[in-house]
Structure 1
């Protein structure tokens, strides 16, 4: 399938005028969806002559992140000539937070997303709006690479929606999901057409580039992650034992390590 540059891009151009926004923030994990989204947003911003309104943000997850991720996110932003910023949770990374809470995140309690990503992003939005020193309410477009086919929850997300929690008297924040309707095949086609380097973890068998060992990842991904990062998996297992809380209800980190070391671990 070819990169969706024709009809899809025309629809987006007609539906969204980027010149209306003072700040356009592209959240980048350096994963495939972020990368495809960045390529699209950069194209549209260049066509509308607002590339200087765009900033790429990478929330550094510390030791739980795949090696080289922050550097790759910067490389991808530099390719388009876009400002790049890194932010991180000041109180420590995810493992520090898990130890403090005594529990792992879960689908019902995604404090990892709210504290490690959403909160740092809002702080950067405050900074970017402050730099403009506008005498009116700033308009902010917060771009995220979520896709409908990834989960039921994401399927029902609106492509464009005002973020009341992030908005204030000084700024109106709108969340935009530019590639919400795209398939995984379309994402990879866009990346290959761009010629920009993607993370090598995909070629090593990973299907997503979140935390190296993510509580929300598929069984295959978390087992493969433990194979690729055995020292980190051991650290997770030690913490699991320390706090007395399983990594996942259906799968402990100790079990994941066993699967990773078995002959059929890769295909588990």
Structure 2
């Protein structure tokens, strides 16, 4: 099992070791657990931990058909680094074509409803297909990513998909994520160095400006409280319950 390097401060070393222990425990409790990777920085930390510890947690990624080339290239970089080919899941091509034919190629700019419909076809439904029959899934979310994730728990039951959900990086900060990436020389998406702290589909993501929130570049034409695609519907629902 990988151990932390002296480049990490005491708190981050503790978080790294706790992450390894937590992942091993999840794997023992849920031998069929899967990890949905966005190929972003946080998810690369989880990927590195899973592969270095040789845990039987399947890692897959959703190719929406509109990802940046740099994001798609991460699949090959992971294979080269770890010797493991990620499972790449695609949306139903007929559903995509029908949606575009009916609403237009860039209908997601027109309304939140149409944007969520696009996300539903390209992300949510493919994810639902992968998760069917599994008892648990993992994500790389953490609380300081956005206001919709400020109440994020490390462990919860995902009522939307009907299985247990783990967010083992929930208490991590962006700084801790990047400290671990540098300490372990973990590969990461080069878009992060170009002003993209949060990366989604190409048409729905822009670089952030100085002083902006890290997720300001995601669906930048919407209010911050709506910036979820449906993969983590519970994040928005928890905010509605608390603030309603």
TM over 0.5: yes
The answer to whether the 8 Å contact 1:142/1:175 transfers is yes
Out of 56, 64, 67, the position equivalent to 1:65 is 67
Larger Rg computed on CA atoms: 1
Count how many residue pairs are aligned between Structure 1 and Structure 2.
201
Alignment pair present for 1:6 and 2:13: yes
Distance 1:98 1:178 in 2: 36
What's 1:144 paired with?
A: 139
Alignment pair present for 1:164 and 2:159: yes
Residue-by-residue CA offset, 1:115-146 (whole Å, 9 max, x unaligned): 322321221233xx5xxxxxxxxx53211111
Question: Which structure 1 segments of 5+ residues have no match?
Answer: 130-138, 168-172, 222-246, 251-268
Distance 2:12 2:94 in 1: 40
Residue-by-residue CA offset, 1:161-197 (whole Å, 9 max, x unaligned): 1223323xxxxx2111111111111111111222232
Distance 2:68 2:158 in 1: 30
TM-aligned CA distance change 1:205 to 1:55, over 3 Å: same
Distance 2:207 2:16 in 1: 31
Alignment pair present for 1:23 and 2:29: no
Q: CA RMSD in A?
A: 3.4
SS in 2 for 1:196: coil
Distance 1:92 1:192 in 2: 42
Alignment pair present for 1:220 and 2:206: no
Out of 83, 91, 95, the position equivalent to 2:93 is 91
Scaled by the length of structure 1, what TM-score is found? 0.61
Distance 1:196 1:10 in 2: 16
Residue-by-residue CA offset, 1:48-91 (whole Å, 9 max, x unaligned): xxx2x2211111122x3111422313432563454521111113
Question: Which structure 2 segments of 5+ residues have no match?
Answer: 1-6, 211-219, 224-244
Distance 1:5 1:92 in 2: 46
Scaled by the length of structure 2, what TM-score is found? 0.67
SS in 1 for 2:127: helix
SS in 1 for 2:58: strand
Deviation (angstroms), 1:156: 1.2
Distance 1:88 1:38 in 2: 20
Out of 152, 175, 192, the position equivalent to 1:202 is 192
Alignment of 1:1-268 (within 5 A): 2=8, 6-12=13-19, 13=21, 16-43=25-52, 45-46=53-54, 51=55, 53-62=56-65, 64-76=66-78, 79-82=81-84, 84-91=86-93, 97=99, 100-101=102-103, 103-104=107-108, 106=112, 110-126=116-132, 129=133, 140-167=135-162, 173-214=163-204, 220=209, 248=221
Distance 1:220 1:117 in 2: 27
